[in-house]
């Protein structure tokens, strides 16, 4: 292959001077940029036109890119003994740790691995649950339909049926995933990593072990608040469904949380709503009252970023994005943001529902696009976020500014809600954000242990539920090794690292606190909105524009003035709720 020959030539010809190192990096970046653009287009087609041909094209493009990146990573080691200027040294490091999937050098195994990834993602995207095994396709439910039912049904038996039905789609992936782990580890070890998990943990400007400890430190900062939220949720679910369904002091049944993975619980706010609390607005109702369509939902998100001083999205964004699920073909509805040409071809892909939750998701995805455009002038290897948690945090930071005051300014509320209803607003926000934290942590805890061999194929599912009980305090009785529940989550089936989402849920509150201060907000943190603050927008852009050119503590300092991730902003944001939870839980069991 031409790229591998180029990489090999780089290894042979360069390695003695800084100028040669620079020439090697320039050639690598130019080639990887070109291949990245091709891969992005192939993957876009795979996600928006699911069929064997698009799947194969995406697999081939992915294989080509990975082989190239891996070839350059190996060639970069030839410069290890050369003292380089900081920018070049950072690029050399990034070449070595850039991949989330490293293919083995054996060509057949490399092809097999990339095809496995494409196959598993497509199987997930086209997954269906048919209540009647003999039902025709028209009577089957996809994940969008199942998720809608799980969010609204309060029938415990129906919820269990839906939960079990979706989790059956991942059973056939167990064999493929086992082989995927074997080949992925082989590729990572060829790059000098202990295993694929260590390769992932090397991306955070610290050693893999140090990063694992950092994640544990952040979790311990927020765990006490989560445990209280869990106890309150369990208490109210027990009142709703009875002692025979919900234990007094054990894990919460996963299917009762309003979400397929129990990763967020805000869909069951109606069950958990504070008794005798002031009624809050329902953003979903407000959006439907105004008969908004999918494009108009997106326009609200775009205008938020414009209010901070960012330029409008390019015309092609609205021409090329996927906003509505097509009726004529299968697509991956999982929301995602795309920078197709590493320049101005920005897009989002999601099957938008007219709900308050999707309103926030749109802001989140546009946050990715705004970040992507902010660093587009940097060299290719620096066109990414400071760490992957930063990318996920930016849009959610904006979503934290979707306050009653903001909704009044944009015409979605007639007047701000009374502060007496803030406990309800905070509870709903905690059910979306705080409930997510242990789930965001445990997925990669499971995968790191799988990649290291601590978890073996013989106990994939048992260890999955062991970790879910440990971190989340949720359970699903009757699961066995005939099931493969991890791959019922998109990010496992599609090989997407997940710790980024945990970090994002920490960072977004830290960002929000700092930006609210920059905006001059004097209200309680949960009432602050940075909408229309050019000063907050400048602070945000100062961080975005750095991309991956500096270690993440530098980027964190640019936006917050601090160099350490800090979960205390979550405690600050939810302080009134935590005090209220303490009152509700007097005499009640806490923990599981």
3-state secondary structure of 290: coil
Best CA proximity match to 337, nearest among 387, 284, 299, 392:
392
- Among candidate residues 50, 66, 99, the one where a domain is terminated: 99
Active site residues: 334-335, 364-365, 368, 392, 491, 501
| Mean pLDDT in residue range 178-203 | 94
Length of the chain: 592
- Among candidate residues 66, 99, 132, the one where a domain is terminated: 99
Q: How far apart are CA 349 and CA 331, in angstroms?
A: 9
Do 423 and 515 sit in the same domain of this protein? yes
Say which DSSP state 139 is in: G
3-state secondary structure of 11: helix
Do 67 and 189 sit in the same domain of this protein? no
Q: CB–CB of 586/245 below 8 Å?
A: no
Do 488 and 398 sit in the same domain of this protein? yes
Beta bridge partners of 349: 322, 336
Kindly indicate the confidence band of residue 584, based on its pLDDT and cuts at 50, 70 and 90. Answer: very high
Q: Over pLDDT 90: what percentage of the chain? A: 84
**Six-digit token string for 520:** 């001059």
10 Å Cβ neighbour count for 318?
14
**Position 3 pLDDT exceeds 70:** no
Do 560 and 457 sit in the same domain of this protein? yes
Residue 327 lies in a domain: no
Do 184 and 91 sit in the same domain of this protein? no
Q: Which long-range contacts (CB under 8 A, 24 or more apart) does 309-317 make?
A: 309/534, 309/537, 309/538, 309/541, 310/370, 310/537, 310/541, 311/373, 313/346, 313/366, 313/369, 314/344, 314/345, 314/346, 316/344, 316/345, 316/346, 317/346, 317/347, 317/348, 317/369
Residue 569 lies in a domain: yes
Q: CB–CB of 272/232 below 8 Å?
A: yes
Residue 235 lies in a domain: yes
Q: Strand pairing of 252-253 and 474-475?
A: parallel
Say which DSSP state 486 is in: G
Residue 337 lies in a domain: no
Q: CB–CB of 151/258 below 8 Å?
A: yes
pLDDT score at 70:
87
**Residue 337: its H or E element:** strand 336-339
Tell which wins on pLDDT, 257 or 279: 257
**Position 144 pLDDT exceeds 50:** yes
3-state secondary structure of 455: coil
Q: Strand pairing of 336-339 and 346-349?
A: antiparallel
Q: Locate tokens 């546009």: which residue?
A: 366
Do 261 and 404 sit in the same domain of this protein? yes
**Position 12 pLDDT exceeds 50:** no
**Torsion angle of the four alpha carbons 562, 564, 565, 567, in this order, in degrees rounded to the nearest 10:** -80
Render pLDDT for 359-370 as a digit per residue (tens, 0 to 9).
999 999 999 999
Do 481 and 582 sit in the same domain of this protein? yes
3-state secondary structure of 413: coil
Q: How far apart are CA 55 and CA 61, in angstroms?
A: 10
Do 75 and 26 sit in the same domain of this protein? yes
Do 75 and 215 sit in the same domain of this protein? no
Domain holding 17, by residue range, is 2-99
| Mean pLDDT in residue range 401-428 | 90
Q: What's the helix, strand, coil split of the chain in %, to 5?
A: 65, 5, 35
pLDDT score at 192:
86
Residue 508: CATH number of its domain: 1.10.1370.30
Do 133 and 51 sit in the same domain of this protein? no
Residue 538 lies in a domain: yes
Q: How far apart are CA 184 and CA 195, in angstroms?
A: 8
**Residue 474: its H or E element:** strand 474-475
**Residue 253: its H or E element:** strand 252-253
pLDDT score at 132:
67
10 Å Cβ neighbour count for 224?
12
Q: How far apart are CA 305 and CA 364, in angstroms?
A: 11
Beta bridge partners of 337: 348
| Mean pLDDT in residue range 366-391 | 96
Beta carbons within 8 Å of 328's beta carbon, 6+ residues apart: none
pLDDT score at 14:
44
Best CA proximity match to 503, nearest among 221, 251, 152:
221
| Mean pLDDT in residue range 478-504 | 95
Render pLDDT for 81-133 as a digit per residue (tens, 0 to 9).
899 999 999 999 999 888 888 889 899 999 999 999 989 998 998 899 987 65
Render pLDDT for 55-85 as a digit per residue (tens, 0 to 9).
999 999 998 998 899 899 889 888 988 999 9
Residue 205 lies in a domain: yes
Kindly indicate the confidence band of residue 307, based on its pLDDT and cuts at 50, 70 and 90. Answer: very high
10 Å Cβ neighbour count for 564?
12
Q: How far apart are CA 61 and CA 188, in angstroms?
A: 19
Question: What's the number of domains the chain is made of?
Answer: 2
Best CA proximity match to 543, nearest among 511, 501, 509:
511
Q: How far apart are CA 379 and CA 128, in angstroms?
A: 42
Kindly indicate the confidence band of residue 9, based on its pLDDT and cuts at 50, 70 and 90. Answer: very low
Q: How far apart are CA 193 and CA 73, in angstroms?
A: 12
Mean pLDDT of the chain: 92
Q: Over pLDDT 70: what percentage of the chain? A: 96
Q: Locate tokens 């591998």: which residue?
A: 4
By the 10 Å C-beta count (0-12 exposed, 13-18 middle, 19+ buried), 215 is classed as buried
Do 136 and 279 sit in the same domain of this protein? yes
| Mean pLDDT in residue range 176-203 | 94
Listing DSSP states for 260-286 in one string gives TTSS--GGGHHHHPPTTPPPPP-HHHH
- Among candidate residues 99, 129, 154, the one where a domain is terminated: 99
3-state secondary structure of 314: coil
Residue 542 lies in a domain: yes
**Torsion angle of the four alpha carbons 456, 461, 463, 464, in this order, in degrees rounded to the nearest 10:** 120
Dihedral sign computed on CA atoms, order 50, 52, 58, 59:
positive
Do 575 and 510 sit in the same domain of this protein? yes
| Mean pLDDT in residue range 28-52 | 95
Residue 335 lies in a domain: no
């Amino acid at each position: 292959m031409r790229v591998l020959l180029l990489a090999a030539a780089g290894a042979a010809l360069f390695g003695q001077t800084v100028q040669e190192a620079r020439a090697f990096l320039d050639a690598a970046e130019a080639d990887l940029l070109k291949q990245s653009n091709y891969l992005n287009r192939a993957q876009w087609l795979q996600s928006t036109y699911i069929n064997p041909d698009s799947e194969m094209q995406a697999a081939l493009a992915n294989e080509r890119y990975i082989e190239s990146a891996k070839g350059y990573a190996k060639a970069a080691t030839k410069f290890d003994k050369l003292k380089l200027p900081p920018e070049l040294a950072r690029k050399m490091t990034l070449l070595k740790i850039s991949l989330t999937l490293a293919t083995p050098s054996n060509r057949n195994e490399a092809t097999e691995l990339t095809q496995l990834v494409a196959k598993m993602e497509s199987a997930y995207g086209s997954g269906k649950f048919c209540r009647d095994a003999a039902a025709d396709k028209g009577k089957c439910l996809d994940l969008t339909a199942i998720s809608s039912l799980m969010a609204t049904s309060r029938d415990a038996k129906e919820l269990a049926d839906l939960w079990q039905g979706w989790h059956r789609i991942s059973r056939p992936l167990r064999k493929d995933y086992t082989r995927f782990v074997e080949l992925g580890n082989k590729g990572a070890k060829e790059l000098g990593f202990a295993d694929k998990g260590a390769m992932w943990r090397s991306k955070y400007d610290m050693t893999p072990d140090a990063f694992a400890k950092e994640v544990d430190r952040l979790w311990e900062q927020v765990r006490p608040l989560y445990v209280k939220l869990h106890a309150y949720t369990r208490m109210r679910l027990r009142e709703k469904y009875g002692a025979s369904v919900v234990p007094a002091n054990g894990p919460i049944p996963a299917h009762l949380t309003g979400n397929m993975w129990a990763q967020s619980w805000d869909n069951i706010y109606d069950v958990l709503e504070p008794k005798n609390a002031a009624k809050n607005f329902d953003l979903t109702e407000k959006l439907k009252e105004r008969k908004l369509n999918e494009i108009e939902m997106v326009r609200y998100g775009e205008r938020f970023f414009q209010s901070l001083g960012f330029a409008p999205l390019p015309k092609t964004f609205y021409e090329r994005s996927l906003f509505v699920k097509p009726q004529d073909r299968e697509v991956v509805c999982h929301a995602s943001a795309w920078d197709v040409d590493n320049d101005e071809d920005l897009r989002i892909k999601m099957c938008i529902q007219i709900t308050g939750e999707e309103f926030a998701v749109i802001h989140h995805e546009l946050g990715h696009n705004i970040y992507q455009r902010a660093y587009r002038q940097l060299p290719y290897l620096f066109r990414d976020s400071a760490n992957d948690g930063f990318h996920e945090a930016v849009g959610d930071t904006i979503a934290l500014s979707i306050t009653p005051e903001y909704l009044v300014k944009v015409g979605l509320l007639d007047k701000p809600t009374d502060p007496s209803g803030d406990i309800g607003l905070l509870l709903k926000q905690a059910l979306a954000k705080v409930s997510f934290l242990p789930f965001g942590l445990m997925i990669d805890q499971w995968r790191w242990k799988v990649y290291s061999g601590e978890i073996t194929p013989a106990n994939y599912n048992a260890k999955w539920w062991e970790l879910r009980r440990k971190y989340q305090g949720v359970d699903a009785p009757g699961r066995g090794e005939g099931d493969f529940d991890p791959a019922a989550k998109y990010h496992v089936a599609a090989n997407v690292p997940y710790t980024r989402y945990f970090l994002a849920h920490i960072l977004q509150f830290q960002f929000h606190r700092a930006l609210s201060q920059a905006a001059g907000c004097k209200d309680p943190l949960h009432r602050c909105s940075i909408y229309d603050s050019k000063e907050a927008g400048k602070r945000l852009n100062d961080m975005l524009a750095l991309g991956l050119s500096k270690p993440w503590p530098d980027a964190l300092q640019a936006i917050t003035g601090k160099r350490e991730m800090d979960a205390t902003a979550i405690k600050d944001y939810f302080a009134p709720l935590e005090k209220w939870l303490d009152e509700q839980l007097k005499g009640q069991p806490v923990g599981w």
